[in-house]
């Protein structure tokens, strides 16, 4: 039995597949059809609901959350907002209705969810914050002006709603021939992993969860890692930032923003708030996609992973973790415990550049991560890695060699970029041709120089 609070009341999901998406559970089983299905893969935001966890109100995509992931939290849907507001429309609902922000109405519940979560936050409302909060919601009627205006009007108010105490979590859910494990300690996690080496290892589910939401797979065993205490730790020392593998992008961002601002900006482009509230850097690494956005950055930053099993722990450089297409150095029974990222030192600069068809929330065609150390305008060290250029994210040794020892100039950057052809033989697919990828990867070296030198200020196509 899966227990959670739903719209302010205790709720029990019985005899339900634990991998049923919250979207399907709400609509098909509970008949709560206010929440809509658009893309079923976390892009459109029509299915947005609010997850209340540890007192935080977070907009999330219900098409990606499995019911088992809701155990011990609260879910708020558009049907319940009036109820928790004493029978009156919330400020967001009222502003959307009176300001003609509803348009056709199909996407409205998702916008309401995203803005209600913003309304309940302690963020200072600004134009940029409003647009960021709405980045994960698509209005198919192009009616953004009244929606943004509704946010301006409503999000300086706050519904006085105090979430009730969530029910206690259960360690295991079994239904329909499936078992959904929810370990709370690393020891329990590694024990389960050793016993079920083929189980789905689920953290946020923003990527792997698509096999359930879109592929309609029904894994026999799922091990959910989000409640493992050791995987939720963030630790900062004088020389490094360590992130537990189950730390969400949202929780990691304040640290990454301060220490590696270019990396933080790229993370905001990976996905909307709905995605960042669920997704984890550990999951992005573990999926081992050749176009994953964080691995090239982490390789360039010389990050290391701590891998844990029932036999103990071991450390490995992240550049050695990826062996082949979707193949990693994880041994049977091992899980990713921690990602350790060294801090930048004097003379070091880090930049990452993502090239994709859309600026926000799109799969990369090419992504480059660059850490350059300059001493007296000479390159003393370079770590450069690309994604989208090979079967794995990998370093560019010839590009690095061309830079190390060179005087820092645009000519040196152009010459180094020409060495991309020696390091990679990219493929052509529906995102980009091999020639395009090679040219872009080379040009990113020039962009790096102009960025660091400040000779070109407009490096992105951004919202005006």
Which pLDDT tens digit goes with each residue over 275-292?
999 999 999 999 999 889
Indicate if 347-464 has the same CATH topology as 1-169. Answer: no
Neighbouring residues of 96: CB distance < 8 A, sequence distance ≥ 6: 102, 108, 111, 112, 115, 146, 147, 150, 154
Strand partners, 351: 370
User: Collapsing DSSP states into helix, strand and coil, what is residue 41?
Assistant: coil
Q: Are 281 and 251 in contact (CB under 8 A)?
A: no
User: Collapsing DSSP states into helix, strand and coil, what is residue 282?
Assistant: helix
Average pLDDT over residues 46-72: 95
Q: What is the pLDDT of residue 340?
A: 98
Average pLDDT over residues 308-316: 97
pLDDT higher than threshold 90 for residue 256: yes
Q: For residues 259 and 101, which has the higher predicted lDDT (pLDDT)? A: 259
pTM to 2 decimal places: 0.94
Average pLDDT over residues 97-113: 90
Strand partners, 236: 241
For residue 406, give the nearest of 384, 375, 385 by alpha carbon: 375
Q: For residues 35 and 165, which has the higher predicted lDDT (pLDDT)? A: 35
Q: Are 37 and 63 in contact (CB under 8 A)?
A: yes
b or e along 170-185 (b: 16 or more beta carbons within 10 Å of the residue's beta carbon)?
eeebebeebbbbbbee
CATH of 347-464, one of 3.30.390.50, 3.30.420.480, 3.40.50.450, 3.40.50.1820: 3.30.390.50
d(CA 459, CA 437): 18
pLDDT in tens, 129-179: 999 999 999 987 877 899 999 999 998 888 889 888 888 899 999 998 999
CATH of 1-169, one of 3.90.550.50, 3.40.50.10490, 3.10.20.30, 3.40.50.2000: 3.10.20.30
Mean pLDDT for all residues in the chain: 94
429-436: long-range contacts at Cβ-Cβ below 8 A with a sequence spacing of 24 or more?
431/291, 431/356, 431/357, 431/363, 431/364, 431/365, 431/388, 432/365, 432/366, 432/388, 436/365
d(CA 399, CA 416): 5
Q: What is the pLDDT of residue 210?
A: 83
d(CA 156, CA 151): 8
- Tokens standing for residue 242: 């360590």
For residue 173, give the nearest of 21, 68, 75 by alpha carbon: 68
pLDDT higher than threshold 50 for residue 464: no
Q: What is the pLDDT of residue 131?
A: 93
Strands 312-317 and 200-202: unpaired
- Cα angle for residues 19, 45, 117 (degrees, 5° grid): 95
User: Collapsing DSSP states into helix, strand and coil, what is residue 53?
Assistant: strand
- Position 431 confidence tier, pLDDT thresholds 50, 70, 90: confident
Strand partners, 327: 324
Q: Are 299 and 263 in contact (CB under 8 A)?
A: no
φ and ψ at residue 90, rounded to 5 degrees = -70, 160
Q: For residues 215 and 439, which has the higher predicted lDDT (pLDDT)? A: 439
- Position 461 confidence tier, pLDDT thresholds 50, 70, 90: low
Around 269, how many Cα atoms within 13 Å sit in the side-chain half-sphere?
A: 26
- Tell me the domain boundaries of the chain: 1-169, 226-343, 347-464
Q: Are 241 and 99 in contact (CB under 8 A)?
A: no
Strand order in the sheet with 234-236: 234-236, 240-244, 335-342, 304-309, 312-317
pLDDT in tens, 66-97: 999 999 999 999 999 999 999 999 999 999 99
d(CA 341, CA 319): 13
User: Collapsing DSSP states into helix, strand and coil, what is residue 388?
Assistant: coil
For residue 149, give the nearest of 163, 139, 159, 140 by alpha carbon: 139
b or e along 206-235 (b: 16 or more beta carbons within 10 Å of the residue's beta carbon)?
bbbbbebbeeeeebebbbbbbbbebbbeee
Q: Which CATH number describes the domain made up of 226-343?
A: 3.30.465.10
Helix (H) or strand (E) holding 189: helix 186-195
Q: What is the pLDDT of residue 104?
A: 86
- Cα angle for residues 344, 341, 448 (degrees, 5° grid): 50
d(CA 185, CA 346): 38
């Amino acid at each position: 039995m899966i227990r959670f609070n739903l719209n302010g009341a205790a709720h029990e999901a019985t005899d339900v597949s634990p991998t049923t998406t919250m979207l399907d559970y709400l609509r098909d089983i509970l008949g709560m059809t206010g929440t809509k299905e658009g893309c079923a893969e976390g892009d459109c935001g029509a299915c947005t609901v609010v997850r209340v966890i540890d007192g935080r109100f977070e907009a999330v995509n219900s098409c990606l959350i499995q019911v088992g992931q809701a155990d011990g939290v609260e879910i708020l849907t558009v049907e319940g907002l009036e109820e928790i507001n004493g029978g009156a429309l919330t400020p967001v609902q009222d502003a959307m209705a009176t300001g003609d922000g509803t348009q056709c109405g199909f996407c409205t519940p998702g916008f309401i969810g995203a803005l209600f979560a913003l309304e309940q936050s302690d963020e200072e409302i600004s134009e940029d914050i409003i647009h960021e909060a709405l980045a994960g919601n698509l209005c198919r009627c192009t009616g953004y002006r009244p929606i943004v205006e509704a946010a301006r009007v409503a999000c300086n108010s706050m519904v006085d709603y105090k979430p009730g105490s969530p029910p206690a979590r259960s360690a295991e859910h079994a239904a329909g021939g499936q078992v959904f494990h929810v370990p709370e300690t690393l020891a329990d996690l590694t024990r389960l992993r050793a016993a079920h080496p083929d189980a789905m290892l689920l953290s946020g589910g923003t990527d792997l969860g698509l096999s359930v939401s879109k592929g309609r797979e029904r894994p026999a065993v799922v091990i959910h890692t989000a409640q493992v205490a050791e995987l939720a730790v963030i630790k900062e020392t004088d020389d490094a930032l360590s992130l537990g593998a189950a730390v969400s992008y949202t929780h990691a961002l304040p640290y990454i923003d301060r220490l590696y601002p270019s990396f933080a900006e790229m993370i905001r482009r990976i996905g909307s708030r709905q995605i960042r509230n669920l997704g984890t850097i550990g999951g992005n690494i573990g999926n081992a996609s050749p176009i994953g956005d964080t691995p090239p950055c982490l390789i360039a930053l010389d990050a290391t992973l701590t891998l844990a099993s029932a036999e103990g722990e071991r450390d490995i450089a992240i550049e050695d973790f990826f062996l082949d297409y979707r193949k990693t150095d994880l041994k049977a029974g091992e899980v990713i415990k921690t990602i350790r990222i060294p801090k930048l030192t004097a003379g070091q600069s880090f930049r990452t550049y993502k090239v994709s068809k859309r600026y926000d929330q799109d799969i990369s065609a090419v992504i480059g991560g660059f850490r350059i150390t300059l001493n007296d305008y000479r390159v003393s060290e370079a770590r450069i890695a690309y994604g989208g250029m090979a079967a794995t994210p990998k370093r560019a040794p010839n590009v690095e060699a061309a830079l190390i020892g060179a005087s820092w100039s645009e000519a040196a950057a152009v010459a180094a970029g020409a060495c991309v052809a020696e390091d990679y033989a990219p493929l052509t697919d529906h995102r980009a041709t091999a020639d395009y990828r090679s040219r872009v990867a080379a040009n990113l070296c020039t962009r790096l120089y102009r960025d660091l030198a400040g000779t070109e200020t407009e490096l992105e196509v951004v919202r005006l």
